[in-house]
Amino acid sequence: MERKTDRRFIQANKEAVIAVVLSLAYFIWWYATAYGFGDAPVSEYTYVLGFPAWFFYSCIAGFLVFAFLAALMVRFLFKEVSLDKCEENTGGDA
C-alpha cells in the first residue's frame, strides 16, 4: 500500500535541517573565533571597540551575523503552512 507523505511534514523537516545547519555553523564560528583569537597571552590581545578581539568576533559580531542570517532564512526559506486537518492527507490523523 502506497502512502503519500503530507507536504507539511516535508516542509517542517526541511526547515528543521536548515535551522540545525545554521546552528552548527554558528557554533563553529563561535568556537573558531573565540579560541582562535583568544589563544594568546592576555598581554598580546588585540582589542576591537574596547573588547578583546576574540570576544568581539565570537560573541558580538557572530551574534549579529547569525541573527541576520536567521532572519533571512525565515524570510526566504520558511513557508507558512496550515495546522488544520487537510482533506488531501492519506496517511494519519494530521
Long-range pairs for 29-36 at CB < 8 Å and ≥24 separation?
Answer: 29/58, 29/62, 29/65, 29/66, 30/58, 30/59, 30/62, 31/58, 33/57, 33/58, 33/61, 33/62, 34/58, 34/59
pLDDT one-digit tens code per residue, 62-77: 999 999 999 999 999 9
pTM above 0.85, yes or no: no
For residue 5, the model assigns a pLDDT of 81
The pLDDT value given to residue 82: 85
What is the percentage of the chain residues whose pLDDT exceeds 70? 86
Instruction: Identify the domain containing residue 49 by its residue range.
Output: 7-76
pLDDT digits (tens, 9 = 90+) for 11-34: 999 999 999 999 999 999 999 999
Q: Is residue 2 assigned to a domain? A: no
Residue 48 lies in a domain: yes
Structural domains counted in the chain:
1
Q: Is residue 62 part of a domain?
A: yes
